Amino acid sequence: MNNYDDLLDNTPAPSGGASEWQGDRASKEGYAAKKRAEREELYTLSDNTALEVASDSGMLRQYLDLQSRLDRYSTVNSLLILAQKPEAARLGDFGYWKNKGAFIKPGQTGISILEPGKEYERSDGSGTGMGYNVKKVFDISQVDARNANVKPPIEYDERNVLRALVHKAPVKITGEDELTGDLGAIYDPQTDSISVRKGMEFPDTFRGLAQELALADLVTGPDTQADPHFSAYCASYILCRKYGVDSRAFDFTDALASFYGMDAHEVKGELSQIRDVVESIAGRMARQLGAAQKPERAQEAR
């Protein structure tokens, strides 16, 4: 009688034998451990950099400068970029620069940031989490961009910039001949309005109004540990740098008291709030500036 028992198990044998399959699993586990270690290293770097920013006025200014140039990046990634290449002005991965017709110069080291990956369900049942992967990007200074399709920075007209700052602002704005304490602008939470002193030069008007608009946003948002006036001051600085407004009047010497007693996580939270306020104001401005540029471009084409 023939024995057909060998046909009763349809589990495919791993190619190359059991030893190869076990080796492949070990290789995958080793790769996952390596990637996990890389992520943890970046988390630690972002924590350490956050604490440096909170304890050094020069580092704080550098961070705010970087946010003005790279405002699309998260707080964590901005801290990582600050730690690795603080002068970065425009970033992209290998594919981005290749599509632009630019190529990475020999010997350049990529800047490691964290890119969102797949969502997952937390094991403790607390909801959905987001996984992150390490990504390498390169600054424009690290690429040969002589023949690249890279647009130069946009220069804005002062009146258009100020008009964009005021346009569709979420609070009422009025001009006043005088303000208490010789202030340039002041937000009144009782009336949800901002008064701006008339007759000031453009940089003073923009700085004061940007700060009070940021303050209005902050005081109506979630509670934070930092002084909202300090956060609004930082937001105004970023906006000035972003739109080419004179920022020499800003002084961060005494600003670090606002971070006193905070751990790295709390510092990141405050920096994220500043970033969110800037994003809100700059987003509104960008829509108006885009509309303002259309008739100008049409006029140039005639």
Residues contacting 38, CB < 8 A, separation 6+:
112, 134
Q: Where are the domains of the chain?
A: 26-144, 158-301
Residue 133 host element (H or E): strand 128-139
164-213 residue pLDDT tens: 999 999 999 999 999 988 789 999 999 999 999 999 999 999 999 999 99
Q: How far apart are CA 65 and CA 70, in angstroms?
A: 9
Contact of 13 with 21, CB cutoff 8 Å? no
Q: Which two tokens stand for residue 270?
A: 């405050």
- String of DSSP letters for 235-277: HHHHHHHHTT---TT---TTGGGGGTT--HHHHHHHHHHHHHH
Q: How far apart are CA 143 and CA 98, in angstroms?
A: 10
pTM of the model: 0.84
Quote the distance between the C-alpha of residue 214 and its chain's center. Answer: 17
Per-residue pLDDT of the chain in tens (302 residues, 90 and over written 9) = 555 555 455 555 555 555 555 667 667 777 778 888 999 999 999 999 999 999 999 999 999 999 999 999 999 999 999 999 999 999 999 999 999 999 999 999 999 999 988 877 777 777 677 788 999 999 999 999 887 888 887 888 999 999 999 999 999 999 999 998 878 999 999 999 999 999 999 999 999 999 999 999 998 766 666 789 999 999 999 999 999 999 999 999 888 889 999 999 999 999 999 999 999 999 999 999 987 555 443 333 33
Identify the CA nearest to 194 among candidates 202, 182, 179, 203.
179
Q: Which two tokens stand for residue 193?
A: 């309005």
Contact of 196 with 207, CB cutoff 8 Å? no
